[in-house]
Structure 1
Amino acid sequence: MGNPLAASKPSISAVFRRQKLKRLARNRWLYIMLLPGLLYFITFKYVPMYGVLLAFKNYQPFLGFVDSEWVGMKHFDRFFGDPLFWKLLKNTFVLAAYNILFFFPLPIVLALMLNELRSQTYKKTIQTLVYIPHFMSWVVIVSIAYLFFTTEGGLVNEAIASVGGEKIQFLLSPGWFRTFITGEVMWKETGWGTIIFLAALAGVDTQLYEAAKIDGAGRMRQLWHITLPAIRSTIVILLILRLGNFLDTGFEQIFLMLNPLNREVGEVFDTYVYTTGISQGEYSYSTAVGLFKSVVGLVLVFGSNFLAKRFGEEGIL
């Protein structure tokens, strides 16, 4: 016969289950606050993933999603075999590389500069001013660029003409297109991008700076040996996330800046998906193009995360 006292003891799984319920009850408000964000990602990120199957079908609206013909890799073969693919790839990669090289470092530099300000009033005033462009729509940003750089009364061209120069077709020139796209992103998002870096800088132990001062380190040495190493992990994580969206160059901005004269260097995957999918009704083909973008982004995330870990950083996975 078994021991009745041993049989009456709760099992280990029951104890763990009871502990989990206690933790859930103790942190219930945190989980309730998590629900809206969780529902958002489930509804708008995970549920629509079922539609990726369109890339492998010849979707016909009158047949519906289920009854449309399965064509496998036909749309991918067509896309990769199209000479336009290489132009789209080049344009998208060049614009994405411009954003990484010229835009990504700017929030870090601005955050470091703001962190050095001792007057809180002055610091908050500058922060407010540099945050404002983020809340402007791309329609407003492109309109401002048009007012400044158009040849028909634009402020910059009028200034050039006033000193005897010849007006420049900034908005129609293919050579200026990428500069404008990158410059607009830098002006709009640099201030907003400092938020995460300022939060990371706020967590740096001030005793490290005091010890460095005692050892005779100046502001630049403190910046190089204390501040930058303290936010290095944040920089790496944000860089990995940025690489995940490497091919997302921004549809709205580029679409508004495109015209027949600069389309040769301005057409990217996002605008091409809109043109073929919405304007021409090739839903399956445009889905295949979008899926290609997503797969490349996923590969870049895993690749950059692997390299980050190889160099001693935490990464995101």
Structure 2
Amino acid sequence: MLTTISRLKPCPAPGEGVHTWIYYAACRLVDAGWSNEQAEPEIELLMTRDPYPREIIDALQSARGERSRPGPRWSLVNRAAISKISSSGPTLVELVSHSPVPIQFVEQSRTEMFIDLLFPGNPWLCIGKASNQFSTAKREAWRGHLHGRSLIVPSPMSAQKGRTKQGKPSYHSESNTGPRRFLVVEFDRGTLDQQAALLWHLALFAPSLALVVFSGSKSAHGWFFCEGQGEDKVKRFFDYAVSLGADSKTWSRSQFVRMPDGKRADGKASDALKSAGIDNVPSGRQPVLYFNSAVIQ
């Protein structure tokens, strides 16, 4: 088995095809007789960025032919447009200063406040400490517990449980995810200043940017309010975002994204914010960098 690992081609740099490489590695290890339990941690060790929730296990399932329905085809990355936009937009510090709701980096998490504003009422919410530790419960049942959670589905769930594509009952599946409320756009390539410029450009293109969350590692997640919008219109916007380097993984309605002002499951700190000029963020925090409650209806 070690020989198989040593023969894998190196994982490319973030933004240069990591997701495709994961599928390549999954196919090689599956062909070599590795189980999912053996392969998943080894693939993660070789990656040049943190994996998204279920990214590796989904690739392993695809390699075994367990996920046959293809996803949408997205536009190719337009590197010239990325360069032009990222060099002329606001820096991360400037993005924070543009936030209609003042941003404060304090010790006490404000996750409960953000979730109340993002998901008013008492909807079903699917929330996890990690991609394999999650549950779905009413918003009020989560109250007081969100500050220690890492992941959330950015749309309310339609029921507490659904069925996975393999037919297994689960708190987290496409079948029990309700209509899309927020479309999350994540950039994991370039500096945080470049990512801020791209998100700001998209916000001017579609003025519905409600939230920007730092992953706790090296990427920024932009939450765009889209409830009630036609799926074709939302898909065209997301396709444009993908052409600017956004990761297509977050198109899935059930895809986990980072909990606003939550805590990374591994608790590790990152120097990315400090390098962008933002200090005093508690270790392991996934801080909110921008918040505009006015666009949420």
Q: Same fold (TM over 0.5)?
A: no
Question: Which protein has the bigger strand share?
Answer: 2
Question: Which protein has the bigger helix share?
Answer: 1
Rg larger for: 1
What TM-score do the two structures reach when normalised by structure 2?
0.24
